[in-house]
Structure 1
């Protein structure tokens, strides 16, 4: 049997819709970074200040969006890893060799995306962390869950250490950062006025070193969610939802029960009802990180159960189409956003409300475009390139080409 990607009949549509939902949330979170200097303000310890409607949008994002969808996407990557490896194994293909090529191709996309367009690329992080999944594919589900839980506990415990630092020390650190506002002004000026090559060169000197320093810490929660997705894939939950419905309902109840007090506490600190002074921001970061795990799993399970209803499957098909072309749509979100805010000179001039509106417009366009594209083509353009690099030969992309190839292979058997 020749090397080939999965066929239409083998695709798990529920996963496509959840992936589209995750991509939707990720773009909402990323949008402020596309139109405002969120990155450098965070580096200099300068908080984004919002008023009016922008303030309440920021609160909503903090409670229900931030970190939740990135975590969900990481889970789906681990699940996708299991599906890819198990299908390659059943076909008798060199699954490790194929997967390494697949990961290296993803790393190539990520590096180009990171250098040429945007500091917030997640593909290079996924690619590097994804290599370590090879050590866990044959391990027991219990082992995967223990490793995932341990990594998440260690990561969040390490984040919480900041809360033990005396307030006076934190005040001195923040005071030193405030004096570096000249760097922030230069950053905004370059984003607003520089040509493309100057802009890229400046970004390589300011953004890339920070990204590389934070690469290892960023990989820890990502890899933990990879393992949870891998464990779910190995347990066969999405392959047989009917059999696991009772289990999913229990998980939905448990994750919701955990999420409610965590999000409630996060709301108290975010709204300033509880004030820990200089440590307020750090408490919010820890609560956001911890709540992202339970709320992410709740979103996944609740949506999975909802999609057992065929009417919801039909209603959310455009989201599924966007999810099937997740790589293409993720990269296009950056290309479109950079073109609008940096290319047209809107950088720093758009508020959170307007940025969110633009985000929704782009997402609707992507859902419509993905739906029409997939009527004629089996893959998105970047998915096609990714698959071609993975299988080391050009893949048929038009649906009729795939049918023709299948008929030819059948005739040769």
Structure 2
């Protein structure tokens, strides 16, 4: 049985609307059907198994569909509704699951709001999908990191740098002993910086440093493409050059694209969720991350970007903390968890709160873009400052005190000014 939890909002009887969701998304339609026998319903019909009322609201989440103001104030009832879908009716295909259990729900006329907030899948899904190939253990092993977070950064500016300019920055970061570097999600393969040219410029620096020091910095090249075969060709360019990671804009490449790649991949898949905000930003509509991330983990992402404390975007800290728990909680077993990537405006100042609110764990990637490359002392000093911030966080030492004999951290505190610094 597949269980979906919907946060339902309607001007009338929520129980009746819940029953309509179950009917419309399985065997029913707008009239009784001759073939809709009791036997068929018992085998494949979805059914409502629980309704938990919530406080009503005075404004419909969908708004007035006809662009007219309501004639008088109204109350819109809400509840969390659990609906079970028989596995026989859906199967283990994730496109079918999205279509049947989630997609059509939003078109039901009686709803003024609906949000999918939870999903519990049967073990058959574990057998049907590969899950992460590397996950947290593989990411730590490949970066050679123990006893601290993986410290990462992003080549900035996001767009405009030519391969030689990107390589110059990479050289400085590699020599500063950063653990991970990535292309920005917006940089794919433009004429001024094709993927093949970036790989030729950057990988010799990574491999030369590995030969000298034994440490191989993980560089994730952006190979996202709407064409799965092109994505695979780009994957091979990276892997054949000695690379070990790729950035995938999962929302843009889709389920099919990621599935095609994962089954053939030799690279760590670093998931960027650009576009997810379209599905979730309104609290009464869309998908909760707890549901969304299960699809992508089953399909095989190894590292998952989830924003961070004091993020520069809209997401509140509580949402980040929940997302951290989501990607690190097994769906079926520990091997299907993904490495949480803490990002979005991070620079080190958020390290103490991140450490405390995520359960004092060090199994994460701490990814800083401007928080590293915009450091007053340069990117190498930025890397050292972030490491110093995490040393202080784990030791329970206030950042200002630790900065007294760590000049790079002191410069960060002066530059970014506090946990909400826009980096």
Question: Fold-level match, TM-score > 0.5?
Answer: no
Query: Whose helix proportion is higher, 1 or 2?
Result: 1
Larger relative contact order (Cα-Cα within 8 Å, sequence gap ≥ 6): 1
Larger Rg: 2
